[in-house]
């Protein structure tokens, strides 16, 4: 498993912009980088275990960049991050499009990962559903067990 995931994500995971996610906490004591990496690995396992035959590039790149918003959402500053749960998927998608050559399918994976909180971005493809579900599972695990 790790070989195939690492092969697809090797360039992305060593990119300086992606590595910036190591400086931001996601849940508990988990960095955003570590969180996205876990979501990518679980997404891969879900796809393989259920024989869903997803486009692995779309699935894994979308999972690794799903929280690529590049700010500390715990720091309220002037209140800009108060609605983080509702806004960060759009910010992550814009950053991913800006810094990487991602296609529309991958953009949608990123944009849809916060459904149902972002009710308008309903997951339609199997890759969108897998990352959305994997993100919920990993977020719960990090929030409850990694504090």
Condensed to tens digits (0 to 9), the pLDDT of residues 111-135 reads 999 998 788 889 999 999 999 999 9
Cα angle for residues 41, 145, 77 (degrees, 5° grid): 90
- Residue 33 is encoded by which pair of tokens? 């980088």
What pLDDT was estimated at residue 71? 79
Q: Is pLDDT at 44 greater than 70 in this prediction? A: yes
pLDDT at position 77 over 80: no
Average pLDDT over residues 100-111: 97
Average pLDDT, stretch 71-86? 59
The string of DSSP letters for 109-127 reads HHHHTTTTTSTTS---SHH
For the chain, give the mean pLDDT.
89
Domain at 2-145, CATH homologous superfamily: Hypothetical protein af1432 (1.10.3210.10)
* Choice between 120 and 94, residue whose per-residue pLDDT is larger: 94
Banded pLDDT at 6 (limits 50, 70, 90):
very high
Q: How many CA atoms lie within 13 A of 88 on its CB side?
A: 20
Determine whether 6 is exposed, middle or buried from the number of CB atoms within 10 Å of its CB (0-12, 13-18, 19+).
Answer: middle
Q: Write out pLDDT tens, residues 9-37.
A: 999 999 999 999 999 888 778 899 999 99
Cβ-Cβ contacts under 8 Å for 106 (sequence gap 6 or more): 57, 58, 61, 62, 65, 96
pLDDT over 60 at 64, yes or no: yes
Instruction: Give the chain's end-to-end CA distance (angstroms, integer).
Output: 28
DSSP symbol at 14:
T
Q: Where are the domains of the chain?
A: 2-145
Calculate the dihedral angle through the C-alpha atoms of 119, 125, 128, 134, rounding to the nearest 10 degrees. 110
- Please state, for a pLDDT cut of 70, what percent of the chain lies above it: 88
């Amino acid at each position: 498993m790790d070989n195939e995931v690492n092969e697809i994500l090797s360039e992305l995971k060593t990119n300086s912009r992606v590595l910036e996610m190591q400086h931001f906490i996601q849940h508990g004591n988990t960095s955003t980088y570590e969180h996205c990496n876990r979501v990518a690995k679980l997404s891969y396992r879900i796809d393989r275990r259920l024989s869903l035959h997803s486009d692995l590039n779309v699935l894994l790149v979308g999972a690794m960049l799903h929280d690529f918003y590049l700010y500390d959402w715990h720091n309220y500053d002037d209140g800009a991050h108060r609605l983080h749960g509702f806004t960060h998927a759009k910010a992550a998608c814009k950053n991913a499009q800006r810094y990487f050559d991602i296609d529309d399918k991958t953009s949608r994976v990123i944009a849809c990962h916060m459904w149902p909180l972002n009710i308008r971005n309903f997951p339609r493809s199997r890759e969108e559903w897998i990352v959305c579900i994997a993100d919920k599972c990993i977020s719960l695990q990090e929030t409850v067990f990694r504090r």
